[in-house]
Amino acid sequence: ASPKSPLTIADPWCFVPGLDGAFVGPEEAHFVILDEHGFHVTIYKTTKESGTRVPLHDRITRVYSTPLGHKCVLLYHKEDSNQLVFSKNFESRHKSADLDSLLSEDALQPAGPAFSLLTDELPLQMRWQVDVLSESVVTARHLLGLTTTARLLILRDDLSVLTSIANEASPYKSIYWVGRTLVYNSEASLNLLTTDGLTHSCASVPPEAVIVGALNDRFIGASKPDAKTSLWFKHVHIYD
């Protein structure tokens, strides 16, 4: 198929082969699928069965959605350089609300700001959060919580690092934002990491637990000790 030839899905609920995918757009009405070879993404609209295939200039192994640029900016993992790199439309994220422009072939190229991972380090989980210290709603800055096979990081939305800590014996299981504090859990404990690098252990948790929510006085988690998933609550003074 030519780079921009339409692809048709016979059944809108069928599985589409690919390495990864992400929803994009203000209403998440579009989604992109990274092809099995990593050199193309195909953009689909959730209300249509046809998509547009876009060639990429580099081989990509993962694609992540972001809240930036009307949710049209993508974050890629490039295998050859082992970097996380924004799509090119990162540069126009505050300037244009035109979806055709933000999701064009040129705009989706992995050519924005990049963050270099360590040798053999791979990205695992990402969670975005609006920075409560942002001065403007229109150009609100965001924070990114990132777990990798080697460490836990808090980055600004230009991928510059605010703080990081090394993993323990294994990567951290899950992360969750409360304000500007990143909550994370290891095999046995629930912990807090602040943007200035302070860490604090606040509770014990079951093995293989993940954090799924937070209230004013407790964290909510899920674990699967047997065949049934169970929820648990840990009472802590979050806003202390």
pLDDT at 7 (0 to 100): 52
pLDDT tens sequence across 6-27: 455 545 556 778 999 999 998 8
- Phi, psi values for residue 88, rounded to 5°: -60, -30
Q: What share of the chain is helix, strand, coil (3-state, %, to 5)?
A: 5, 45, 50
Tokens of 208: 């293989």
Comparing CA positions, the residue from 82, 42, 43 lying closest to residue 60 is 82
- Residues contacting residue 77 through CB under 8 Å, at least 6 positions apart: 60, 61, 62, 63, 64, 83, 84, 85, 122, 123
pLDDT in tens, 117-176: 999 999 999 999 999 887 665 567 999 999 999 999 999 999 999 999 999 888 899 999
pLDDT of residue 42: 94
- Distance between CA atoms of residues 155 and 143, nearest Å: 6
* Partner residues linked to 23 by β-bridges: 31
Closest CA to 144 of 111, 172, 177, 120: 177
Q: Are 229 and 221 in contact (CB under 8 A)?
A: no
- Region 19-43: what's the mean pLDDT? 93
What pLDDT, on the 0 to 100 scale, is given for residue 136?
60
> What percent of the chain is predicted at pLDDT more than 70?
89
187-226 pLDDT, tens digit per residue, is: 888 999 999 999 998 888 887 889 999 888 889 999 887 7
pLDDT at 92 over 90: no
What DSSP state is assigned to residue 54? E
Can you give the pLDDT at residue 228? 84
